[in-house]
Amino acid sequence: MHNDVTATGHAARIATVDALLPAPLPFEVHDDATLLSAQVGDTTAAGLATSTELGPDSSQSIWRALTEHRLEVQLAGPDPAAGLDALLTRWDEHLSTIARPGDPECSAVVSRPSRDTAGVTEMLRHGFAPVGVIAVRPAQRMAASGPTTTPGVCIRHATPDDLETAVHLMLELQRYDAQFGRVTVRPGIDELVGKELLRLLERPEPQVWIAELYGQALGLAVLQMPDETAWIQHRVAASRIGYLSSLAVAEAARSAGVGTALAAHAHQVFDEAGADVVLLHTAVLNPRSTPFWYAQGYRPLWTGWQRRPAVR
């Protein structure tokens, strides 16, 4: 069976699933990747298995397990769910030779187009949970009418003087999000978050925004403009991409329109920069962020499935 044949069939299938998905390319098998394949009747499946490790002092480590095993999936033919089932069985055999059993710092991760629903049951049967979503909002999308913003809330650029407040809000966000499977709070997170925010705040025009009421900071939004988002370009069929890195509202001020005001401001900034779409990551099980973002005009584009530990 040919990887190219599966890639062509997969691309044809995906083209009908979601107009905002980029056309998938055949896998390029580099040195530290393993190509897996499976066949069930006329159905073929290909998977590119990779593993990456981060130290706890890496700023990216907040968002994941320190060791992450990933599988990119391509499915072609009449029964993609059966193809995925067989491919996951192959990957499980592979993982059992390389992953540390029972280690919560070792995860198995599969990103799948959210609207390519074939194989969802099989993912669940293999012990994966849908943990994260990359959500997309096309420019000019209307949001549902939200709450009336608390009078007096003003949104301004953050400055280096806001570092302490920004760190406080960001840590509140990370601790809340850590309940939902992906974000991992480890000792030293305060310094990591502080270092990253200081780096952003020291830029000439930091894309860090503060919502304040009568001089008291209640909320924070961090944006990445289209010239900084090449890292996520492969996830969406758009050329100018805005990325909303973080939005946090102090616990005492939630449900009062502060988040809506910050999101509206962020969308205005992205519109002015000519972004075609805005992307963000959100935790599926976060009962605040999931409904909030969907009311702001976002919808799921990619679903991040995770099994953690990767091997029990």
Quick check: 247 binds ligand COA (CB under 6 A)? yes
Stretch that binds ligand COA, among 99-107, 128-136, 196-204, 288-296 (CB under 6 A): 288-296
State in angstroms the smallest separation of the CB of 71 from ligand COA: 25
Quick check: 91 binds ligand COA (CB under 6 A)? no
User: Are the C-beta atoms of residues 210 and 220 closer than 8 Å to each other?
Assistant: yes
Q: Indicate the SS3 state at residue 264.
A: helix
Quick check: 147 binds ligand COA (CB under 6 A)? yes
State in angstroms the smallest separation of the CB of 117 from ligand COA: 23
Q: Rounded distance, CA 290 to CA 273, Å? A: 26
Quick check: 134 binds ligand COA (CB under 6 A)? no
DSSP state of 257: S
C-beta nearest to ligand COA: residue: 259
State in angstroms the smallest separation of the CB of 266 from ligand COA: 11
The beta strands (E) that lie in the chain are given as 33-40, 43-53, 67-76, 106-113, 129-138, 153-157, 208-213, 216-224, 241-249, 277-283, 299-307
Quick check: 266 binds ligand COA (CB under 6 A)? no
Judged by beta carbon, residue 47 or residue 132, the one nearer ligand COA is: 132
Q: What is the CA radius of gyration of the chain?
A: 21
Q: Which of residues 176-195 bind ligand COA (CB under 6 A)?
A: 176-177
Which H, E and C letters describe 270-296, residue by residue? HHHCCCCEEEEEEECCCCCHHHHHHHC
Q: Applying CB under 6 A, which residues contact ligand COA?
A: 144-147, 173, 176-177, 247-249, 254-260, 282, 286, 288-289, 292, 295
